[in-house]
Every structure is written in C-alpha cells, then in structure tokens.
Chain A
Amino acid sequence: MTLELLEGSTAIARSAIAAGCRFFAGYPMSPFTGLLENMSQQMPAAGGVCLNAESEIEGVNMTLGAAAAGARAATGSCGQGIALMQEAIAEAALNETPFVVFNMARNQQDYFQSTRGGGWGDYRTITLAPKDVPEAVEHTQLLFHLADRYRAPVIFYGDPLLAQTRVGVSIEALDFGPLPPKDWVLDGTGGGTGRSRQIWTWAMGKATDPGPGPDGHWRAIADKFDAIDKVESRFEQAHVDDAETLVVAFGSAAKFVEYVVDELRADGHRIGWFRPVTLWPFPGEALAAATAGVRRVLVFELNAGQMLDDVRIHAADRSAVRFIGGVSIAESGLAYGELMDAPVIRDRILAAITGGARP
C-alpha cells in the first residue's frame, strides 16, 4: 500500500472516481469548492463528466438525472447549498434514485439537516460522518455502495478539516460485496416494448401495468428506511467498560475528543468516548448499552445542541446527559471557532466532571 500526501478534497475526489463515480455537478462554495475543482480536473481522464452547475438546484437535479440513467453520480455543497437541494434529495429518496451528496460543511450545524431532512415526505438519508481524511476516503466509497444497495440518496458529512487537511492516504477501489442489479435504470431501450420504464415518486405505473401508487409506494419506502435503521448504524467507542464519564461526539470533533479522553485516561480519569459513525441511522442501541453504567454522558458538538436530541432519546438515563459543546465559528464564517481545540475540550470535560457543566 502506497501512501500519497493529498489534501482531503483531492483524496475524496479520487476515491469517488475509484468507486466508479462518473458524473458530478456542483456549485462553488467554501469549503466544498476544492472537491468541485478536483472533480472537474480529474473526471475527464476517467471518462466521466463534471459540470459547474448554475445553481445547487440545477446541480442536484442533473445528478438525479445521471443517476436515473444508471451512472454512479454525486453532487455536493455546504449546509446552505444543501438546503437548496432538499427538494431533490427528498424526491430521490421517494423515487429511489441513488446518489451521494457531499456536504463539506463549514461546521457541525447541519446535523439536523442531515438526519431530519428538509424535504417533504417520509424518508431518511443515510449519513456518514468521517473523523479524518483516511476514513473519508473509505466512507466515500462505502456511500456509493450504500446508495446503490438501497436505491437512495446518501450524505457525506464533511467539514473544513476534512476538505483542507493534507494527509498521507492510499486510494484504491474497495469491495463492499455484491449489489442488486440495476434493472430499474432508464436506458431508453424500453420504448415500444410495452414494458417501458418509469421513475416516478408517485409510482402509479403505466396504464397497462399499474404501479402501487403513492399510498403503497410510500409505505414501502418507509418500511425500507425502517429496515436500514435496523442494520446500517455504525459506531466506534473506547474505554467504555469502566467509564464513569462518556463523551459523545461525531466527525472531526470526535477525533479531538478521542485525543483528550486518552489524555484524561492517562491522568487516571475513568472516562470513555462514543462516536456515531452514521448520524442516521443513529447507533441508538449501542449508545444505550455504552451509557448503561456511566454517571454522566457529555455531548460535545460544534452547534447549539443537535445530536444532543438523539443522545437524549437513546441514553440509558437521559438525566445523566450534559451538553458541553456550543456554536463556535471562525471570524471568516467558513471554519470552526476556538471551541475546536483540545485544551478547551479538556477544560469543559473536567468542569462537567467536577459538577460545573451547563445543563
């Protein structure tokens, strides 16, 4: 395995192409811009297409079209641009068009957007939140696999650290096992056969071959997401068995927490950490088990308390849950503020242990 020193955006773009992504469309926005530039530069040599779309709305709908025609396709933006894409993400969830949405977010304030969705209808979006660039490379390919496996749009939750940090990584195609055949793809050959294909959120089918219609189709979609919820949650944890204090964090923040917890362990504290790797499905059962014996559950995230809701839902004792994160944005508005710093996190954890945590 050869390691190359690559910026996150370059590594993610190359990983996507290694996974077979052949269509990408996006609209520049920092820190997503680097991924769009890399896709634009690398896609032609792979025989693919990258379009600098005129808006996020056009970008995501181009991606939906490319995916409907059978390509592995992706789009992306930051939270604000992803907000514009919500209509199409919901549509793709309901008409079962698979693609990957790279949210190279400016911070962690898009947790609700990723896990609750801003579109209409009963749907969810599988969301992976890697903690560093090597994991981002793996998650990129896993997301294309999960999208195809479940015929659904899926979300990569990144941030400025993942987009802009240079790390030694290895990019090669990863095998996540067999996938169902793409026998639903619109390839244009169905015309005049009486069995032409249709991708339609309402799934009413053809006059000669009626579909389930919205009632039956949307029930089936809801059942599908229930099934995904049961099997696709992923998490990581450490030092849980004897922990009195458990710190829950996701994405880059979890990497900082992991470092601080190791320090505090070395100082003799009985403390562990828990990281949801999938934000949806949230690893609720695993968190319930991890929090069963602890005295306090500390939630650290760079927002006003969004994952906090999921932790409260699933913690063994919700009265033990304390929030030690907060909104923290750099002056530019484009990156994390001073809270994303190991000494600050350490102080907040220690304050919580000694009883000074904010409720």
Chain B
Amino acid sequence: MSVIDTSQPPSQPAKKVAEFSSPLLLGEHSLCPGCGEPVALRLLLEVLQELDIVQRTIGVVGHGCYGSFVRIMDVDVLQCLHGRAPSCATGIKRVRPDRAVFTMQGDGDMVNEGLQEVLHTAARGEKITCVLLNNGVFGDTGGQLTATTVLGQRTKTSLEGRDAEAHGHPIPVADLVAGLPGTAYVARGTVATAGSVAQTKRMLRRAFEAQLSGAGFSLVEILTMCPTGWFVPAPDGPGYLADSMEQAYPLGELTT
C-alpha cells in the first residue's frame, strides 16, 4: 500500500471533478442549463479513452439536441438520417470489423423514427453499441410527445398529460432489445445523480467491451434530464426524473 507523500505540496493543484474535461471535447456544448445529455456525452468520451479505442472508433449520430455534439467531439462521425443510425452503423462495422462503432440517438430518433432499425440491428447481432439518450420528449423541437413519454407527462402535444387511451403507451425499447437473441448487453442508467453517473459509465464500458469481444449487439439507455421540455425549473430536473421516468423505466442491467 502506497502512502501519499504530504511533505510537499502536490505537483498539480487540486481540481473539482466537475471541472474535468475530456481531451476529446473540442468546445463547449450549447444545450440548455440542466440538460442531461452533455453528461452522457462526457461519459461516452471518457469510456472511449479508458478503453484506448479513440483512434479506432467511428460514431453515427442521429437527430436531436445531441446532434450538435458532432461539432465538439473529436471522434470520426457520420451524422445520419433521423432514426437510421443502426443501419448506417451496420454498414460501417461490416466493412471495418476491427473498429468500434457506436450510435448516439435520442428517444425520438431511436424509438419513434427508428424503432425498426434498432430492433433488426439487435436481432442481427451487429457488433455495435447503441447509446440511447432518453428524456421522454422531443427536446429539439420544444417539448412534444415521443414514443417514450411517460403516462401523465405534459407535453406540447399532450397538454393534459399523456393518456394511454388517447396517446398510447410508452415503449420500453431497452427491454424489447434485451429479449432478442442477438443482443449481448443491454442496460439502463441515468445521469441524474453522482452515483448514477458512475454506474452509467460502467454500463457504457461493459457495452463497448461486449462489442470489442465480438459477443454481439449492445445498447445502453441513459435517462437524461430535459427540464426545458418538461417545463420544470432546471435544478428540479434530477428529482423530476426520479419521480417520473425512473418509475416507468427501472434502472439496471437487463441482460444477464
């Protein structure tokens, strides 16, 4: 056991964890205060670094607020059509099987527009990692109902709250994917608390490990705060997420 030498000041001054910045970030994000997506981006970039795959990784990014991340992430990226990221990633991985390939998609992108793509890609057992940033609302267009909007959630297209009779039920896509034989790893995390951030990072790491070992398809759903789209004050986002989305979408690993 090594003992920290306290006879001298440390060679580097102390830094708040919150001030750490991934060297893969090329600039500041432009999303709303209280948004969970930049935290998820940071976790993803940290995992790429820790696995030492930065220079053999290709990302495919869909359409949502997180789409602006392609300007600030120092990773080779294809910005693809809405919902089609798993198909594009399939083409990339099949011709470059030695690369790590991931998608970054929101709930509108993956569960509304691209449900077919993600299900078939999982069933084919494509060795890619899909990252779903699920805030249960179309954030980019200002807060409308998505396929994952939880019952009771008010949106601009469900002003009185999502009602199953009128708007249908939300789709737990990670659970669907977890039931498919081609799937190697599926987990659902969040970035609402410090503890859940650490847990979600471990999930991302395991998902990429499943891809790199050739085990099959992997998906990590990350519940992210969208106080703007939920019409709550920014500081209330994490608590609101725990009371609403976490109740509908339990956290944890969904594959054994």
Contact = CB atoms under 8 A, between A and B. Distances in A.
Contacts of B48: 191
B76 A196 contact: yes
A1 interface: no
Interface in A51-74: 51, 53-55, 57-58, 61-71, 73
A191 B74 contact: yes
A205 B79 CA distance: 11
A206 B120 contact: no
Interface string A169-190: 0000000000000000011111
A87 B82 CA distance: 10
Contact of A188 (B74, B76, B80, B94): B76
A191 B44 CA distance: 13
B76 A65 contact: no
B24 A191 contact: yes
Interface string B56-99: 11101000000000111111111111001001111110111001
Nearest to A73: B91
B78 A186 contact: yes
B87 A65 contact: yes
Contacts of A33: none
Contact of A187 (B23, B71, B75, B76): B76
B116 interface: yes
Given A58-B117, A191-B55, A192-B24, A22 B91 contact: no
A345 interface: no
Interface in B1-53: 23-24, 26-28, 48-49
B58 A186 contact: yes
A193 interface: yes
A55 B79 CA distance: 21
Given A188-B96, A188-B99, A206-B26, A61 B80 contact: yes
Interface string A60-99: 0111111111110100000000000001100100010000
B219 interface: no
A63 B91 contact: yes
B76 A186 contact: yes
Interface residues of A, number: 47
Contact of B88 (A68, A71, A188): A68
B100 interface: yes
Q: Is the interface of B mostly helix, strand, loop or mixed?
A: mixed
A61 B49 CA distance: 28
B87 A61 contact: yes
B88 A65 contact: yes
A306 interface: no
A198 B70 contact: yes
B75 to A, nearest CB: 4
B54 interface: yes
Given A69-B95, A194-B26, A188 B100 contact: yes
Residue among A25, A189, A200, A207 having the largest count of chain B Cβ atoms under 10 Å = A207
Nearest to B28: A207
Contacts of A65: 60, 78, 80, 87-92
A54 B91 CA distance: 13
A320 interface: no
A206 B57 contact: no
B76 A190 contact: yes
Contacts, number: 155
Interface in A16-65: 22-23, 25, 49, 51, 53-55, 57-58, 61-65
B99 A66 contact: no
A190 B27 CA distance: 17
Nearest to A202: B79
A66 B55 contact: no
Nearest to B56: A188
Residue among B23, B80, B100 having the largest count of chain A Cβ atoms under 10 Å = B80
Interface string B202-218: 00000000000000000
A91 B78 CA distance: 12
Given A62-B90, A65-B87, A196 B75 contact: yes
A197 interface: yes
B179 to A, nearest CB: 17
A186 B70 CA distance: 14
Contacts of B116: 54-55, 57-58
A353 interface: no
A191 B76 contact: yes
A188 B95 CA distance: 12
B141 to A, nearest CB: 17
Interface string A287-317: 0000000000000000000000000000000
Given A61-B84, A88-B81, 12 more contacts: A54-B116, A65-B88, A68-B78, A69-B95, A70-B95, A190-B74, A191-B54, A191-B56, A196-B74, A198-B70, A204-B70, A206-B74
Interface of A: 22-23, 25, 49, 51, 53-55, 57-58, 61-71, 73, 87-88, 91, 95, 186-194, 196-202, 204-208
22 contacts: A23-B95, A49-B95, A53-B87, A58-B84, A61-B88, A71-B91, A73-B95, A87-B81, A88-B84, A188-B100, A189-B56, A191-B55, A192-B24, A198-B77, A200-B70, A200-B77, A200-B79, A202-B79, A204-B70, A205-B71, A207-B27, A208-B26
